[in-house]
Structure 1
């Protein structure tokens, strides 16, 4: 059921995903084409924010910190999965894999490869601060407009 908390969760975590994507672009290899990276990640962030953070909105400030961090981690996971899956499909169409199982394993290898540039102190700090802010904003709307 749509609530203000779910709507704000979707908006806040879409903004978080867009922001983190923009921070990620300079960390990508020079030959990589980001394409619609930020827009796709914002859509994933909206869906995850609606489902995870929006459902928990209105449960208190302590909970907001927890579900803000949890939702941000889920957003990052699903964004990595979506892009890794897309890359695997592109490679599979070029017959780069010997079988289906090799392609499935490649998705998780690609996720690790794509996550590597994020493991910098400044990126992690920005992600944590943005997650806390998105969680607290979602909570504010969840409490104020139940």
Structure 2
């Protein structure tokens, strides 16, 4: 059921996904074709905010902070997973893998490389502050517009 909390969580997490994407771009190798990078991350934020955060809103301040941290953690996990799968498919089309199993295991290697590349102080601080803000504003929206 659509609620104001779901809408607020989706929009705010989409904005946070866009901001984090802009922070992550300089961390990736030179010559990387980003294409729809920001849009994919914003769409993931919208979906995760709507589904994960929106239904758990309105339970108090501590739950709001936990909700925001959970939403941002899920955003990171899904974002790394989606972009790792895309990178694996790109490399598979260039015949870099000998078997399907090698390609599937490459997803996890690529994901770990991406995770290490983006684990920097500005990204972590922005994600933490963003999680607090998104969680508290989502909780506020749930309480204000019932």
**TM-score, structure 1 normalization:** 0.95
Question: What per-residue deviation string (whole Å, max 9, x for no partner) do you get for residues 14-61 of structure 1?
Answer: 111111001111112112122221111000111111111001011111
**TM-score, structure 2 normalization:** 0.95
Gap regions ≥5 residues in structure 2: none
Question: Counterpart of 2:94?
Answer: 94
Question: Counterpart of 1:85?
Answer: 85
CA distance in 2, matches of 1:49, 1:35: 23
Deviation, structure 1 residue 9: 1.0
Gap regions ≥5 residues in structure 1: none
CA distance in 1, matches of 2:41, 2:110: 16
Alignment coverage as a number of residue pairs: 146
Question: Counterpart of 1:119?
Answer: 119
Question: Counterpart of 2:145?
Answer: 145
Task: Provide the aligned C-alpha RMSD in A.
Answer: 1.0
Q: Secondary structure at the match of 2:97?
A: coil
Question: Counterpart of 2:52?
Answer: 52
CA distance in 2, matches of 1:2, 1:101: 41
Greater Cα offset, 23-32 or 77-86: 23-32
CA distance in 1, matches of 2:40, 2:112: 19
- Output aligned runs, 1:1-146, within 5 Å: 1-146=1-146
Deviation, structure 1 residue 122: 2.2
CA distance in 2, matches of 1:12, 1:118: 21
